[in-house]
Amino acid sequence: MVAAAFFILVLMFGIFNTFGVFFKPLLAEFGWTRAVTSGAFSLNWIVQGFMAIVMGKVNDRFGPRVVMTFCGFVFGLAYLLMSQISSLWQLYLFYAVLVGIGLSGTFVPITSTVARWFVKRRSMMTGIVLSGIGIGGLIAPPVANWLISIYDWRVSCIILGGLALVAVILFAQFLRRDPAQVGQMPYGEIKEETGLKGDTDSFSLREAASTRQFWLASTMLLCFGFCLYTILVHIVPHTTDLGFSTAHAANILATIGGVGIIGKVVLGNLGDRIGNRQVFIIAFILMAAALLWLLQANEVWMLYLCIAIFGLAYGGIAASESPIVAGLFGLRSHGVILGVAAIGFCIGAAAGPFVSGYIFDLTGSYQTAFLTSAIFATVGLIASIILRPTKKLGARI
């Protein structure tokens, strides 16, 4: 189950995170502004956010196999259709809406499923599964850049879409909602364990949404989404604007995924030891520092180092999202609670690229955009420091 979830994330998020590589070819062919082009990416996250609630609810009831089979089909089809776009509305329909629906079945259902399979080492195993996003981010941008250089961006969409369509549906057949479906118990389950013992002490969505902790967690995820996707969308054009090659730019983008793998596994393991809230605090400090340094980075090695620090922070937060929600609110409605909380992430992920593209269109520079992202990282840090366990569960978070 863990291996299947891992490979699904490699494929889907790897392909999704190549948007920055396709960014300038789209601008060159259609002459759209950066804000308008980024807008499709932003709308994608709005669609993901609201559909993730639906997919989380479906996953709570029917399990991830049904969810991922459907979403893998929609995701692959969307990229096949992307190869045929000739106007802006088609970009928004195929990429923003259909790719968004496809991706809505990934993070929330998969991490919610991992939370049900593991009590001990929950953060570490979540980190290992989510390292698939990093490996996909490490491999896919250079591959997409290579495909575009040999063929063009349209043929590249066909190749990537066809691969996703077949492979994701295949891997989805190995997923199960919880270990009880195959006659097992969650790894490390102790029935008397406070806050993790099952449905009795868990929150419903309504109960969770009435707590201060829910809104603080949503704020943390919003700030994370704003910072992460500002960089994922705009670091490639920013790098080429500084005069460096597209190969360097694609490799810098891939560095986020590569170092993110280390962050997810190492900081995920650390989260099991010191608590996921502490990981959020450490990661937001690193993220704010990286974004502030990026304002001064004008050499290739500086860009790589800034992005490596950023990638480490990204990996730590990604591995801690689902476990911290489980620690705060339990497992009974974990999928739908995580889905609703993740709307904050999706709003941030939608706003970050659009706002940054708009700032660039006004100023001709990303300086103010990166400074704005550093401010969001600081707000996320403050929310992480304030966050405390819920009284009902009282478990360490």
Enumerate the domain spans of the chain. Answer: 2-177+194-386
In 173-209, which residue ranges form alpha helices assigned H by DSSP? 205-209
User: CA-to-CA distance for 382 and 380, rounded, in angstroms?
Assistant: 5
Q: What is the pLDDT of residue 190?
A: 63
Query: Using an 8 Å Cβ cutoff, are 319 and 130 in contact?
Result: yes
Q: What is the pLDDT of residue 142?
A: 85
Q: What is the pLDDT of residue 311?
A: 93
Report residue 104: phi and psi, to 5°.
-65, -20
Query: Using an 8 Å Cβ cutoff, are 138 and 254 in contact?
Result: yes
The encoded tokens of residue 127 equal: 């980190």
Q: What is the pLDDT of residue 42?
A: 80
Note the pTM of the prediction, 2 decimals.
Answer: 0.77
SS3 at position 86? coil
The encoded tokens of residue 175 equal: 């997923």
Q: What is the pLDDT along the chain (397 residues), one digit of tens a residue?
A: 889 999 999 999 889 888 878 888 888 888 888 888 888 888 888 898 889 888 888 888 888 999 999 999 999 999 999 999 999 999 999 999 999 999 998 888 898 888 888 888 888 888 889 888 878 877 888 899 899 989 888 999 999 999 999 999 999 999 988 777 777 887 777 654 444 445 557 898 899 999 999 999 999 999 999 999 899 889 988 999 998 988 888 888 888 878 888 898 888 888 888 889 999 999 999 999 999 999 998 889 999 999 999 999 999 998 899 889 989 998 888 888 988 898 899 889 888 988 998 899 899 999 999 999 999 999 999 999 999 999 888 767 8
Chain center to CA of 4: 18
pLDDT in tens, 228-284: 989 988 998 899 999 898 888 888 888 887 888 889 888 888 888 888 999 999 999
User: CA-to-CA distance for 233 and 253, rounded, in angstroms?
Assistant: 9
Q: Check: CATH 3.90.1200.10 for 2-177+194-386? A: no
Alpha carbon distances (Å) from 346 to 47, 103, 192, 219, 227: 8, 12, 36, 11, 11
Residue located via tokens 């989404």: 225
User: CA-to-CA distance for 163 and 187, rounded, in angstroms?
Assistant: 33
Alpha carbon distances (Å) from 367 to 23, 88, 354: 19, 28, 15
